[in-house]
């Protein structure tokens, strides 16, 4: 797991699959070693997908740290007219997300490296299970970079484990001038809602 935020995972490829089962969606997703949570859909991701309101039905949406795509594909299936940007640093994750989107016929998912999103794209929604384990400073830099690209009415939903610092992250977001509130709490996870 320590390597899921590396650009080129050193771990040997071990392809697998997981089922994403939600009340409104059932997808089989390709996974591989060297990406986040390859054995099963992460509990935090599931809590996020079961807790947040539907995404805006048009415009640009962002899955920040897409892994093999469960969040991006859920957004795309719930908002078929929107363009969903699935971004990650991990090239293996991006390939998996692209293949999973094709297999699910969700053709408005754009699986791209974090440095390949055009600067003029602004997001009406950001959903993320952020890579807390990259360290506090890197996490803060990542969130600052992407939250500033929310549209004026845009909303971000972040899922963070309580014991990995959800409350301190909520305080930090407030100190940076964001409105950060707890949208939901379940199974030791918090869903933070972030707006301007």
Is the pLDDT reported for residue 69 higher than 60?
yes
Q: Is the pLDDT at 2 greater than 50, yes or no?
A: no
Evaluate if residue 48 carries a pLDDT over 80.
yes
Alpha carbon distance 83, 59 (integer Å): 6
Average pLDDT of 115-132? 96
With CA atoms as reference, report the closest residue to 121 among 89, 82, 91. Answer: 82
Beta strand 109-113 pairing with 123-128: unpaired
Residue 69: which of 49, 47, 50 has the closest Cα? 49
C-alpha to C-alpha distances, 135 to 23, 94, 141, nearest whole angstrom: 34, 22, 10
**Residue 133: per-residue pLDDT:** 78
68 pLDDT tier (thresholds 50, 70, 90): very high
Does residue 3 carry a pLDDT above 80? no
The single-letter DSSP state of residue 135 is -
The C-alpha torsion from 89 through 94 and 96 to 102, rounded to 10°, is 160
Q: What's the predicted TM-score (pTM) here? A: 0.94
Average pLDDT for residues 95-112, to the nearest whole number?
98
**Residue 150, both tokens:** 């929310």
Kindly report, residue by residue over 6-33, the tens digit of the pLDDT: 566 678 889 999 999 999 999 999 999 9
The residues that bridge with 182 in the sheet, in sequence order, are: 192
End-to-end Cα, the chain, rounded Å: 33
């Amino acid at each position: 797991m320590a390597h899921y935020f590396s650009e080129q995972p050193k771990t040997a490829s071990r392809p697998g699959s997981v089922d994403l089962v939600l009340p409104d969606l059932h997808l089989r997703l390709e996974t591989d070693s060297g990406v986040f949570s390859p054995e099963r859909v992460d509990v935090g991701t599931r809590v996020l997908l079961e807790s947040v309101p539907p995404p805006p039905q048009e415009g640009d949406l962002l899955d920040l740290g897409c892994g093999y795509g469960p969040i991006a594909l859920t957004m795309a299936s719930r908002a078929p007219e929107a363009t969903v940007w699935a971004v990650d640093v991990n090239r293996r994750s991006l390939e998996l997300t692209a293949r999973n989107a094709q297999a699910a016929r969700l053709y408005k998912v754009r699986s791209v490296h974090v440095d390949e999103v055009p600067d003029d794209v602004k997001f009406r929604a950001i959903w993320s299970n952020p890579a807390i384990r990259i360290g506090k400073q890197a996490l803060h830099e990542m969130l600052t970079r992407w939250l500033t690209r929310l549209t004026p009415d845009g909303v971000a939903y972040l899922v963070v484990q309580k014991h990995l610092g959800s409350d301190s992250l909520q305080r930090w977001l407030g100190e940076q001038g964001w409105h950060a509130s707890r949208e939901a709490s379940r199974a030791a996870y918090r869903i933070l809602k972030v707006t301007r």
